[in-house]
Amino acid sequence: NLALYPVELRTHKIFLMQNMKKIINFIVSEEDHKKRVDIILGDKLKDISRSKIKKFIETGNLLINNNKILEPSKKARYFDKINFTIPEENKFSLKPYDYKLDIIFEDEDLIVLNKKSGISIHPGPGNYDNTIVNALMNYNGKKLSNVGEEFRPGIVHRLDKNTSGLILVAKNNYAHNHLADQFKKHSVERVYNAIIWGKIRPINGKIDTLIKRSSNNRQLMEVGITKGKRAITNYKTIEIFEGDNAPSLSLIECKLETGRTHQIRVHLNYKGNSILGDKQYKKKYKRIDNTKSDIAKLIKDIDRQLLHAKSISFFHPSNNKRLEFTSNLPSDFDKLLKKLRNM
């Protein structure tokens, strides 16, 4: 029904259908003065998740007083004119993907997976079929939580496509909410290994910054000075590799206190010690073309960031027992590490 609601901008929302898009217009009330605009929209649009509202804002669908706004955290003011477009999303169904999952633990409530690098966690633009979620649908699609976004059944947290290691999957809504609450309260412990360029200083420490979406590339994140969400990464240096036949590299361990998008990669790049193989977050380093060693060849052949989610610890949703799981380093990571140790 494309019926047009009465235009009463001060007190009522207006829903229009234009070019298959839903347009919402309203004037900010005195009650909503200085509230985040994504929160205001979330209160008015109960049928749309906060994450979708944020995504729509970040992709240019919000105008405040006819000015395009890309920050979901933007504070609205009394009597601001809001124009929000909800684009029609591509309709598709999750197709099962015949992919062998590396399951290291499973019971009635959850699955612990060891993810290989090179596969995305959930469907998205450019890849709607060959993801961990599609593989889970093939494995046991009827036994996954559905409290998250529609095309992320069971997914409680994520790893980047080219990061390997452990993730948790919820098989029912109770388990999902329980695990999500643990992530929110920071009682889930996650430890990562990474090989980085150079020697990080100090060799052990804590990186505590704000992280926000990049102002130059909306697909990336960056450290914020005054805007962003607090992000804390604890790190320690395990080994330092230096020699005539290879550039200076270090093996480090990172323990997350928060779980922001791309957090470890952004933080290490901020420190000037990007992860080896990271094509998105990287500093300029000395060329290794003239380094005559098989180590140089291995480094040149690295096609992903050498970041691995090594261990995860959490409370089981049903019995509150503390569980901990660990994962061996993948072959590309391990092969280079052995070469570095023997140089």
Residues marked as catalytic:
160
Asked whether the bond before 202 is cis by omega within 30 degrees of 0, the reply is yes
State phi, psi for 136 to the nearest 5 degrees: -65, -35
CA distance 159 to 174: 22
Contacts of 82 (CB under 8 A, 6+ apart): 24, 25, 26, 27, 28, 37, 40, 41, 62, 63, 64, 76
Spatial CA neighbour of 25 closest among 4, 39, 1, 46:
4
Short-list 194, 181, 192, 111, CA closest to 153: 111
Task: At 298, list the tokens.
Answer: 């291995």
Q: Are 112 and 105 in contact (CB under 8 A)?
A: yes
**What are 209's strand-pairing partners?**
231
Candidates 30, 39, 25; CA nearest to 73 is 39
Helices (H) and strands (E) in the chain — how many of each?
7, 15
Q: How do 164-170 and 307-315 pair as beta strands?
A: parallel
Q: How far is CA 120 from CA 7, 75, 130, 147, in A?
A: 44, 33, 8, 20
The total of other beta-carbon atoms located within 10 Å of residue 250's CB is: 21
- For 61, the token pair is 């669908």
CA distance linking residue 240 with residue 106, whole number of Å: 37
Q: Which residues contact 119 (CB under 8 A, 6 or more apart)?
A: 99, 130, 131, 132, 161
